Each structure stands twice: as structure tokens, then as C-alpha cells.
Amino acid sequence: MRVLAAMSGGVDSAVAAARAVEAGHDVVGVHLALSRMPGTLRTGSRGCCTVEDSRDAWRACDVLGIPYYVWDFSERFKEDVVDDFIAEYAAGRTPNPCMRCNERIKFAALLEKALALGFDAVCTGHYAKVIKDADGNKELHRAADWAKDQSYVLGVLTAEQLEHSMFPLADTPSKAEVRAEAERRGLSVANKPDSHDICFISDGDTRGWLAEKIQMQPGEIVDESGTKVGAHEGANAFTVGQRRGLKLGTPAADGKPRFVLEIRPKENKVVVGPEHLLAIDEIRGIKLSWAGLPVAEVSAVAGTAGARSESFACHAQVRAHGDPVPASACVETGTDGSEQLVVTLDEPLRGVAPGQTVVLYQGTRVLGQATIDAARSLARAAL
């Protein structure tokens, strides 16, 4: 099988490519140049597409004896990931750029090009698993190492994309084993730090970075009753659940800290309140997609305008490293054919924000995902 190995310059992608070679596949390595400033240097575990990353990817391919190429996807990355990130924050939402990158770059643009060039699959160092059901349909599942599991950020993959995805690290019990294997194979990235945070904000200062991209307008900070308790320099810089940096002029009556409950961009207001009001009981999601075949309850009414599917039991996860909570979900189809995912949580989730992604699971299987459009709190509704 002809396999295109996406080489980030890190240890996971290097070992994944090595395993693909060892399995007998015809492997070609490719490093995606996503940064518009490719000459920048990596700072510890921050940064992406740096000089070091490109060189590390090349060295790994050299050790493995496979061809190595660099593909420039920087323009598409800027449009589909960076510009989307800015637009979402400007609209008062909290986006997940890793989801957009996997959806639009690594498993859309890259896979599209790979298939056009005659490759059968794209191989990455993600910790996730693709397995076949009894009828031969491919499903996305959690990796063996739940601590490193990345199935959440892959929840945007479609059935067609799963057909051409390869995750050689799926059954690896720990990251330590991956590093040990890299050492044995003579890969120089064996002890390279993991990257984290938002790759295109190298210093980790998201608020400062956004301030340069979005025109901030001063406005009011109000409590849950609408009373002004402070002022802000720009509502777009806040996120739901935030506690620090509020600089409130009026303390809470009980003296306890307050948190950002909601951002209202049209009114340019930030709503704050006590921690218990962050608890969310219902999530409504848009831009719904299924990681494989939809569940039977949804398939039964698919495409029926005005229909609401039967509810199905699942677990919902709203952060890459968050804990899944038991829930029930259904799909509502509008008269225009648009679908909305409705998730009722058995246990409230704290600080859920529009723009985040909710991923549904049944056991280890990823069912699908949706972008959170609204999050409802019964406690706030009762005020």
C-alpha cells in the first residue's frame, strides 16, 4: 500500500512512519509548512513549522530511508484555521483550532492531494484507532493509552476520510514506549518535548495575540442580574469559565470569586457570576458530522425535514483532555434540512462555551461531533 506519512518533526509522527515502513508499505514522508514565517525558531514545546521541526522531520526520513518532501499549505492554513480562529473570537465564541486543522488541513487538503497523487492512505502520529465493524464499515475509536488519546480532535473525520487514515500508534500502551522505540531506531527526536497550546501563538499569550488582530471596544461587565460590576477593554478577549483578569470594581456580596458566564458580542458585554452557574445541562450543536455511519436512531429519519430522531445513550466530551460524561442525544432536522444536535447531560459540565466542539462516544467508539451553538444552564434559567 502506498502511504503518505505526515511528518510534524515530533517523535510520534516519526515512530508512526517507522512502523508503516516496517509493515511493508511504500512510505513517503511529507512535512507541512503551515507557518507564514518558516524561519522562526522553536521555543521549548511551543511553535510550529519551525526550522528545527522541518530538519527533524528530514532527519527521521533519512534514518528510515524514505523520500522526504515539504508541502506549503501556509495559505490554506491561514484561511481555514488562523482566520477562522480570529473570526470565531470576534463573534464571541471559543473555537478549537486543532479541530479545524485536522478537519480542513490534515484530513481534507492533505488527504485530497495524497489521493490525487495515487496514495492509498495518510499516516499520522495521532493516538487513535480505526477498526471495522461486523459489516466491514470503519469506525473511529479511542487509543489504548487513554492518557494520550487524541480521538477527540479527530472527531471531525468522515467515513470517507477514515477509509484512508492510518494511525500506527493506536495500540501503544504509553508515550514512554514510543520514546523508547524512537531511541532504539536511532531517531534523534526520541526526547524532543511535546508541542502544546495553540501552535501559531508561540508565546502562549492568546489575549495579547488577539488584541493585535481584533479591534477591541471598551464595554461593561455585568452580573447575572444585569447590574454593572466592572468594565473591560474588549469582550472578545474573554472566555467562558475565566476567573483571572476580570478586574471587577464591585465585589460579590458573598465575597466569593466570580467567573465569566457568557459573552454578548452584540451588546459588547461580559456576564459574570458565581461558579455554580457555570454548570451546563443541555448543549445544542451545529455543523454536525459523523465519524463513520450515523447511529441507527438518526439514520431512520435522516433527511426528513422537521423530524426529531429518537434519543440515544452516549457520553459527551467538550475538551481534548476533558472527562466524558453520560448523556442522551438526538438530532433535530429543520424545515430547511439543516441538522442540530441536542445533547442532554446526565451530569452537568462546567464552563461550556459556544464555539467549542462536543464529541459523542459510545464506549470507545467516536460517534461524531458538532460545534456548540448554545449551552443551557438550568440554574441560570431558574433565576
Q: pLDDT tens digits for the chain (383 residues)?
A: 999 999 999 999 999 999 999 999 999 999 998 876 554 444 444 445 677 889 999 999 999 999 999 999 989 999 999 999 999 888 888 888 988 988 889 888 899 999 999 999 999 999 999 999 989 999 999 999 888 899 999 999 999 999 999 999 999 999 999 999 999 999 999 999 887 668 888 777 887 888 888 888 899 999 988 999 999 988 887 889 999 888 887 778 888 899 999 998 889 999 999 999 999 999 999 999 999 999 988 888 877 887 899 999 999 999 988 899 999 999 999 888 889 999 999 999 988 989 999 999 999 999 999 999 999 988 777 55
Burial 325-348 (b: 16+ CB within 10 A, else e): bebebbbebeeeeebbbbbebeeb
- Nearest Cα neighbor of 4 from 61, 52, 47 is 61
Q: What is the CATH topology of the domain spanning 2-184?
A: Rossmann fold (3.40.50)
Q: Could you tell me how far CA 229 lies from the centroid of its own chain?
A: 34
- Looking at 48, 61, 98, 199, which residue is catalytic? 199
The three cell numbers locating residue 377? 444552564
101 is catalytic: yes
49 is catalytic: no
Q: What is the pLDDT, as a whole number, of residue 46?
A: 47
pTM value is 0.90
Q: What is the pLDDT, as a whole number, of residue 102?
A: 86
Q: What is the pLDDT, as a whole number, of residue 215?
A: 82
Task: Give tens-digit pLDDT for 78-111.
Answer: 999 999 999 988 888 888 898 898 888 988 889 9
Domain boundaries, the chain: 2-184, 215-273, 279-381
279-381 is a CATH 2.40.30.10 domain:
yes
Tell me the CATH number of domain 215-273, given options 2.30.30.280, 2.40.50.100, 2.20.25.10, 1.10.3720.10.
2.30.30.280
- Looking at 49, 98, 101, 314, which residue is catalytic? 101
| Rg, Å, the chain Cα set | 22
Q: What is the pLDDT, as a whole number, of residue 382?
A: 58
Task: Give tens-digit pLDDT for 275-328.
Answer: 999 999 999 999 999 999 999 888 888 778 878 999 999 999 999 888 999 999
